[in-house]
Chain A
Amino acid sequence: MKQTRQRMAALIGAVTLTLSVAMPAQAVDLQFFFPVAVGGKAAETIESLTREYVSSNSDVNIEAVYAGSYQDTVTKALTAAQGGKPPQLAVILAVDMFTLIDEDLIVPFDDLLSDADKKDWIGGFYPAFMENSQTGGKTYGIPFQRSTPVLYWNKDAFAEVGLDPDTPPATWDEMVSFGEKLVKKDGDGNVVRWGVRIPSSGFPYWLFQGLTTQNGVILMNSDGNETYFDDPKVVEALQYMVDLSQKYGVMAPGIIEWGTTPKAFFEGATAMMWTTTGNLTNVRTNAPFPFGVAMLPAKERRGAPTGGGNFYIFKDSSDEQKKASVDFVKWITAPEQAAQWTIATGYVAPRPDDWETPALKAYVEDFPPALVARNQLEFAVAELSTYQNQRITTIFNDALEASITGEKAPQAALAEAQEKADRILKDYR
């Protein structure tokens, strides 16, 4: 016992010592939580950008803490805040904005900015990204790690079945007719290559929101307290998704995994896939055949949700800390840094002026598919986000999964989901 206690004391001593040595006396200290949802150099890039900023700003000290997945990060931030020690700054899913407001943990950027900044800086982000960052006329999040889904296609497979390798499907009907040509079976009638893959594990709502948007319907209002899950057009979109496997046989039946989708694409097990633009660098490095990147196909219109994370500033910080946080966010979303981040990960640089930097210009010239996601932003809408977001999306995901696996008819599943969502959201109206 004594030994243990001594060792503990020594440990505590050592840790506090390293901490106190690491921090210069009068600088503002910031703690910054960030998640990583793409492989490769994402964590490293954020850490090195932070170091770069700290080395040129001696009055501020930023401790960048890698906090796991998006889900882990919001759990960590909520726990720390409830435990009385929130970070000053965090990158958390844009859709968690209402949760953070509901918990009274974050402050709007508006209170910390001059009028000129509000107009020029906040006004300078793509409006599609700001839809998930603003509510009630205030800006709570600054887009950073943002993405949108796109369609990747295998040019060799297109050529093999007599399709033009440079023309991706532009409409729902084309996706079906191309898909029917692309499906390949072996002698025993087993499918060795599917036409398309729309991953549906974990959070099927995200890609499904592409389909609903294309069908000309939105899933929720901007106040985050109404959903429209049982709209006939939502039902129609879900029916189309189900029909892709049940009726047309161009997509594998059942739940399709996110994690294995890029692999299936590289292996030629599917000729097209829908997935996030955050995968671009991965596909570019690993696809053994020429591939194309296109906007998602249209029904009534083009359409896709946005996704990914925002910067949030936590309430329980001193005024100096809040000011330093804003300065850091401004710096890291500024064109030079945003360009570096986009090239390293494939995430979409969140401001039009980011794309004017020589670095990004050279990058897209060399690799034009990087522009597709940005161009799609014109048609993009806010990702599904409401109060009690975790519960609402779970209800919706369950309904989608039940339909995809054939357990329930789309109409019935969605009507039930809407009823459950209404019960939760009526307190917020």
Chain B
Amino acid sequence: MRQVDYGSSLNLIAAWLVALLWFSPLAYALWTAIHPVAYEVRFDLTAPLTFENFIDAWAAAPFARYFLNTVILVTMILVAQFVLCTLAAYAFARFEFRGREVMFALVLVQLLVMPDILIVENYKTMRALGLVDTIVAIGLPYMASGFGIFLLRQTFKTVPKELEDAARVEGAGLFQILWRVYIPLAKPTYLAYGLVSVSYHWNNFLWPLIVTNSVETRPVTVGLSIFAAVDSGVQWSIMNAATLMTSGPLLIAFLLFQRQFVQSFMRAGIR
């Protein structure tokens, strides 16, 4: 007779419970989005399906434009972050220079400061640069990311020095070493950091709202906010349809690459 393994079945049950709990808001959003308004709080399996909510939501704001803006925004930030953080991390990890520790400490200080505190200062900077109401202005304050530098530096430090020496013996220059040794070995970190960055900037609301004024520059989150009209009661169906629409691409991407993401998080040591 097979011994029942209570430990692992308990684990399994707990995992299912947590998963259900995590999934329930999403399930509710899906339910309200594909049913008429009258079924918002009434669960009836035979309720008629409808796409009306999606059509209404899509028509309520220029979402196509907002989507384009968000995609431009997150791509721009990600590319800039990768370039800047890689170079800075390489310098901090592998070069000896005066003031290195102090400068790295300054970079770490950035992690302690909430971006929201700097809104006024950032706004002043954007104004001085003449960038208010541009997509660049939304991204610029985030491009030199202290978190990214820290994370990549730690990863680069784990790369055995011997690999670098071997590359040097083969005649590789500084940038070639970076390109052929460090970056390939840090791939999981890039993937994990990229996911964190993209989802953060996809969802960022306050700063984009403040620094932009026009449809041409605003991201989806700002467009979404017109549905949150508290005075007249929230229209959950349309709001959830819009939410699914805007978070959909991210959600699908996550489901597709889920395994890689989880693995890279484990390897990169971000929990």
Known: A8-B76, A15-B134, A38-B229. A260 touches B234 (CB 8 A): yes
Interface string of B99-132 (1 = CB under 8 A from A): 0000000000000000000011001101100111
Chain B residues lying within 8 Å of A263, measured Cβ to Cβ, are 40-41, 233, 236
Known: A82-B120, A259-B234. A11 touches B136 (CB 8 A): yes
Q: B120 contacts A31, CB within 8 Å? A: no
Interface string of A262-287 (1 = CB under 8 A from B): 11000100000000101101100010
Q: A76: CB under 8 A from chain B?
A: yes
Chain A residues lying within 8 Å of B232, measured Cβ to Cβ, are 37-40, 262, 278-279, 281-282, 346
CA distance A36 to B209 in the complex (A): 14
> Which of A62-70, A160-168, A245-253, A350-358 touches B?
A62-70
CA distance A48 to B72 in the complex (A): 29
Q: A147 contacts B231, CB within 8 Å? A: yes
Which single member of B83, B216, B231 contacts A279 (CB below 8 Å)?
A: B231
Closest A residue by C-beta to B133: A15
Which single member of A11, A65, A83, A261 contacts B213 (CB below 8 Å)?
A: A65
Known: A31-B213, A83-B127. A37 touches B230 (CB 8 A): yes
Q: B264: CB under 8 A from chain A?
A: no
CA distance A266 to B234 in the complex (A): 13
Closest B residue by C-beta to A83: B123
Interface string of B208-238 (1 = CB under 8 A from A): 0110011011000010011111111111100
Q: B80: CB under 8 A from chain A?
A: yes
Q: B196: CB under 8 A from chain A?
A: no
Q: A1 contacts B136, CB within 8 Å? A: no
Known: A4-B79, A7-B76, A8-B76. A75 touches B210 (CB 8 A): yes
Q: B206: CB under 8 A from chain A?
A: yes
Closest B residue by C-beta to A202: B230
Closest B residue by C-beta to A307: B231
Known: A75-B210, A279-B233. A1 touches B222 (CB 8 A): no
Which single member of A7, A18, A36, A259 contacts B233 (CB below 8 Å)?
A: A259
Closest B residue by C-beta to A147: B231
Number of A-B contacts (CB under 8 A): 108
Q: A79: CB under 8 A from chain B?
A: yes
Q: B192: CB under 8 A from chain A?
A: no
* Among B124, B209, B217, B236, residue most surrounded by chain A Cβ atoms (within 10 Å): B209
Chain B residues lying within 8 Å of A65, measured Cβ to Cβ, are 213-214
Chain A residues lying within 8 Å of B229, measured Cβ to Cβ, are 36-40, 42
Q: B127 contacts A84, CB within 8 Å? A: yes
CA distance A68 to B123 in the complex (A): 18
Chain A residues lying within 8 Å of B83, measured Cβ to Cβ, are 1, 4
Closest A residue by C-beta to B40: A263
Q: How large is the interface on A (under 10, 10 to 19, 20 to 34, 35 or more residues)?
A: 35 or more
CA distance A4 to B84 in the complex (A): 12
CA distance A260 to B32 in the complex (A): 14
Which single member of B40, B136, B216, B225 contacts A72 (CB below 8 Å)?
A: B225
Known: A40-B232, A43-B226, A63-B213. A75 touches B206 (CB 8 A): yes
Chain A residues lying within 8 Å of B186, measured Cβ to Cβ, are none
Chain A residues lying within 8 Å of B233, measured Cβ to Cβ, are 39, 258-263, 279, 282
CA distance A31 to B214 in the complex (A): 11
Q: A85 contacts B132, CB within 8 Å? A: yes
CA distance A251 to B186 in the complex (A): 59
Q: A12: CB under 8 A from chain B?
A: yes
Q: A11 contacts B120, CB within 8 Å? A: no
Q: A68 contacts B225, CB within 8 Å? A: yes
Shortest C-beta distance, A49 to chain B (Å), equals 17
Shortest C-beta distance, B104 to chain A (Å), equals 22
Q: B135: CB under 8 A from chain A?
A: yes
Given contacts A37-B230, A69-B228, 20 further A-B contacts (CB under 8 A): A8-B136, A11-B136, A12-B131, A16-B130, A31-B213, A36-B229, A37-B229, A37-B231, A39-B233, A69-B230, A72-B206, A75-B206, A79-B119, A79-B120, A79-B210, A80-B123, A259-B233, A262-B233, A279-B232, A282-B233
Q: Which residues of B contact A (CB under 8 A)?
A: 37, 40-41, 72, 76, 79-80, 83, 119-120, 123-124, 126-127, 130-136, 206, 209-210, 213-214, 216-217, 222, 225-236
A–B complex contacts, Cβ < 8 Å, 24 sampled = A4-B80, A11-B134, A11-B136, A12-B131, A15-B133, A15-B134, A31-B213, A37-B229, A37-B230, A37-B232, A38-B229, A39-B229, A65-B213, A69-B230, A75-B210, A79-B119, A80-B210, A83-B124, A85-B123, A260-B234, A261-B233, A263-B236, A279-B232, A279-B233
In the A-B complex, the 3 residue pairs with the closest CB atoms: A83-B123, A262-B233, A39-B229
